[in-house]
Amino acid sequence: MTAAVQLRNISKSFGETQTLRDVSLAIRPGEFMSLVGPSGCGKSTLLRILAGLAPQSGGTISIDGTGIDHLPPSARDIAMVFQSYALYPHMTVRQNIATPLRMRRLPAPARLPGIGRLWPGQRSKHNGIDQAVIDAARLVEIEPMLDRRPAALSGGQRQRVALARAIVRHPRVFLMDEPLSNLDARLRVTMRAEIAALHRRLGATFVYVTHDQVEAMTMSDRVAVMMDGEIVQCASPAQLYGNPRDLRVARFIGSPEIATISSDELIAENGGFAPVLPRDPVTVAFRPEAVLLSPAADHLEIPATLERIEQLGPELLVFLRLGSGTRLSARAAAGRIPLSAEGQSLSAWLPARGFMLFDANGRRLDAPHIREFADAG
């Protein structure tokens, strides 16, 4: 039932504007793959192309090695959960969930409302569908609401109905387009865990679109970061966080945002950075946990002013500003730092090695590269 999905060089243009550029992605069987990126970067467009709801301008899609570009949406064995849930408003929950099965299993006359049940020879199919609907509803815990209409359900319940309608078909691939974005923050966290559990239970291939990097990072096996119609990096959440290949990825993943300081500024603040940085101007990036507020070995001190402190219970987020206005944030255990007034001057200690370097185009300069520069100098 699980399937590998392969996207090769997908491009899409709406008139003059190119929305997708040469997107290639290999999704492994049973994988939970997230597409994450800012609004308008083309995530939904890519998902609709995958589902067959819109044609691509170029490129091919295959599932388990078989091309599916010529297949209509219903023949691709793909189910989709939409951002707006897209339930049929005039049908009950039961009818909503049953629709994909009725369309697939029953001949047209047997689908007629009411009298369809009288069409001969379909009894076992009708019973099979009824049972499948109940099973799917039970899986997402909406069995008591089967006879209500979508209008009489809360947002979270509608979301579950939409999930049940996708599950009931047992498709090879699930597509989800920002399924949690209309829920309140608390419910979103619950549903996140439930969808992840559902994925483990069904074992199907999931492609999950979101603009929320936390969602992508917490649920996925791998995350593909999209920017301006391109996949910038596709890797495991840990890889994306610790080893971003592009400055845009580094900035998008992780909260608070990674701090970026030009090498010139850093050297001006503390000459000790000069030997460890390349001679050409580069951008140096520090995750909040790399920034310390007390002296440590292999760290260099720079002066900063305190902008604001966010209390997160066990830890603090400390937002700092350098002389030139560059922002820096640090994570610190609560209680270790005396609470200080805004605008107060203090010192931050930045690591003198193991930081991330990016060139002027935002591309990552990795460690060997740095050594090369250092040797030359």
Partner 1 sequence: MNRPHRFRPGQILSHVILLFLAFLFMFPFYVMIVTSVRSPAELFVPEFRWLPESFTGLRYYIQAVADIPALTFLKNGVLISGGILIVQLLTAIPCAYALAKFEFRGRDLLFALVLFSLTVPIQAPALPLFLGLNAIGAIDTYFAAMVPFFLSVFAIFLFRQTFRTYPDEIIQAARLDGMSEWAILWTVVVPGCLPSVAAFSIFSVTAHWNDLYWPMVVIRSNDLMTPPLGLAFFADSESGANYGALMAMATILTAPLMIGFLLAQRHFIRGITMTGVK
Q: How near is the Cβ of 105 to partner 1 at its closest, in Å?
A: 10
Cβ neighbourhood burial of 126 (10 Å; 0-12, 13-18, 19+)? middle
User: 175 has which bridge partners?
Assistant: 80, 207
Q: Is the peptide bond before 256 cis (omega within 30 degrees of 0)?
A: yes
129 to 168: interface string for partner 1, x by CB under 8 A: ------------------------------------x---
Q: Taking Cα atoms as reference points, which of 1, 13, 7, 18 lies closest to residue 50?
A: 7
Q: Which does 19 bind (CB under 5 to 8 A by kind): ligand ADP, Mg ion, partner 1, none?
A: ligand ADP
Q: How near is the Cβ of 78 to ligand ADP at its closest, in Å?
A: 17
d(CA 191, CA 197): 9
d(CA 258, CA 244): 11
Using rule CB under 6 A, residue 45 touches ligand ADP: yes
Q: How near is the Cβ of 241 to Mg ion at its closest, in Å?
A: 24
Count Cβ atoms below 10 Å from residue 141 Cβ, excluding itself: 12
Using rule CB under 8 A, residue 117 touches partner 1: no
The answer to whether 9 and 23 have CB atoms below 8 angstroms apart is: yes
Query: In the range 41-60, which residues lie near partner 1 by CB under 8 A?
Result: 48, 51, 53
Q: How near is the Cβ of 245 to Mg ion at its closest, in Å?
A: 24
Cα separations in angstroms, 375 against 6, 267, 275, 277, 280: 43, 18, 10, 11, 13
Query: In the range 31-50, which residues lie near Mg ion by CB under 5 A?
Result: 44
Q: How near is the Cβ of 163 to ligand ADP at its closest, in Å?
A: 20
Query: In the range 15-34, which residues lie near partner 1 by CB under 8 A?
Result: none
Shorter beta-carbon distance to ligand ADP: residue 59 or 256: 59
d(CA 95, CA 126): 12
Q: Which stretch binds partner 1 (CB under 8 A): 80-88, 231-239, 292-300, 333-341?
A: 80-88
Shorter beta-carbon distance to Mg ion: residue 44 or 157: 44
| Strands of the sheet with 299-311, listed across from one edge | 327-333, 315-321, 299-311, 345-351
Shorter beta-carbon distance to ligand ADP: residue 19 or 329: 19
The answer to whether 227 and 251 have CB atoms below 8 angstroms apart is: no
Binding footprint of ligand ADP, residue count (CB under 6 A): 10
Note the residues at the interface with partner 1 (CB under 8 A). Answer: 48, 51, 53, 72-74, 78-80, 82-84, 86-90, 99-100, 103-104, 165
